[in-house]
Structure 1
Amino acid sequence: MGVEVGGLLGLIWLIIIIWAILKVAKSGAGTMAKVLWILILLFFPLIGLILWFLLGPKG
């Protein structure tokens, strides 16, 4: 049972990260800011997602 739950949570986490990256890419921020946020989200997923929710580009 542990593998199924871990797999499902991993899939949900992947969907959330992809959603955040798409939101960053569609935002009105400058190109360098977008690249920086996407790199942060890719290399530091948990911390990057929290920082993006708090400090990331809005709109």
Structure 2
Amino acid sequence: MNDQTSKTGDGIHENHYCCVPECKKWGGFGFTRSKAETVQWWCWEHYPHKTPVRAS
């Protein structure tokens, strides 16, 4: 059974690793300002757009 609902993608998974050169972790957090830019991927440790956790 095919779970792909549109014909726009080819269904190929791409591996994204952290964009910090010395880091080899999985880059599960991508960010771009527009569709015209290339997406940059970071691991959680290096992700610059995360919000700080507040102590209760």
**TM above 0.5:** no
When you count helix as a share of all residues, which structure comes out higher?
1
TM-score class, shorter: under 0.3
- Greater relative contact order (CA < 8 Å, ≥ 6 in sequence): 1
Normalising by structure 2, report the TM-score. Answer: 0.25
Bigger CA radius of gyration: 2
Normalising by structure 1, report the TM-score. Answer: 0.24
